[in-house]
Amino acid sequence: MKATSKFLSLILRHKPQIVGITLDEHGWAEVDELIRRVKNLDRATLEQIVATDDKQRYSFSADGKLIRANQGHSVPVDVELEEISPPEILYHGTGEKFSASIKNLGLLKKSRLYVHLSSDIDTAEKVGRRHGVPKIFLVESGKMFVDGFKFFRSVNGVWLTEHVPAKYLKESF
């Protein structure tokens, strides 16, 4: 099931073409088409993945006919997020090996549409561990918002913004 979930993430966030589907402008894919195109995927398995994914990566449309990734896309889609005022502080977890670059350039979205931020240190630390020894940065998101930066919160609670300049970052530990 984990391998299927990862493959689903690849399809719905980065490479829908590898199974011959297309995402609409809001990142939605037709469930029936996805099931037809992905080997060993049926509706029950798809529903279980969506319901049990620990990061709540996916959502069904209200009628259940469409599915999409909630965030993390590298393909240009508009997942219909509303701009929202962030808390004063957000967090970003990364690997220690990226610290010097981040201190210099800030947080860059790179191939994704947004920089991903967490509302708590624990989540940021878990993200950081995926990249080796974790390094946590505090993001002065309240100041950024006052200075005109836009913030969004995805369905699963991940905070998103296009860039975090270095001047808004502080090392946590």
Q: What is the CATH number of the domain that holds 27?
A: 1.10.10.970
Residue 161 belongs to domain with CATH number: 3.20.170.30
How many whole angstroms separate alpha carbon 133 and alpha carbon 154?
A: 27
- Output the pLDDT for position 9: 94
Q: Is residue 85 part of a domain?
A: no
Point out the residues of the chain with pLDDT beneath 70: 173
Tell me what pLDDT residue 2 has. Answer: 87
In this predicted structure, what is the pLDDT of residue 172? 82
Quote the pLDDT of residue 19: 96
Domain contains 138? yes
pLDDT at 55: 84
Q: Has residue 116 been placed in a domain?
A: yes
Domain check: are 95 and 142 in the same one? Answer: yes
Do 167 and 94 reside in the same domain of the chain? Answer: yes
Task: Among 39, 69, 99, give the residue marking a domain's end.
Answer: 69
Number of domains in the chain: 2
| pLDDT the model gives residue 173 | 60
- pLDDT at residue number 37: 95
Q: What is the pLDDT of residue 1?
A: 85
User: Among residues 75, 69, 81, which one has the least CA distance to residue 112?
Assistant: 75
Instruction: Tell whether 104 and 57 lie within a shared domain.
Output: no
Q: Domain boundary at 11, 37, 69, which? A: 69
Place of tokens 């969004």: 152
One-character DSSP codes across 5-52? HHHHHHHHHT-GGGGT----TTS-EEHHHHHHHSTT--HHHHHHHHHH
Q: Is residue 41 part of a domain?
A: yes
> 96 with 162, same domain?
yes
Q: How many CA atoms lie within 13 Å of 133's alpha carbon, on the beta-carbon side? A: 5
**Does the reported pTM lie above 0.85?**
no
**Domain, as residue range, for 57:** 2-69
pLDDT at 23: 96
| pLDDT at 112 (0 to 100) | 87
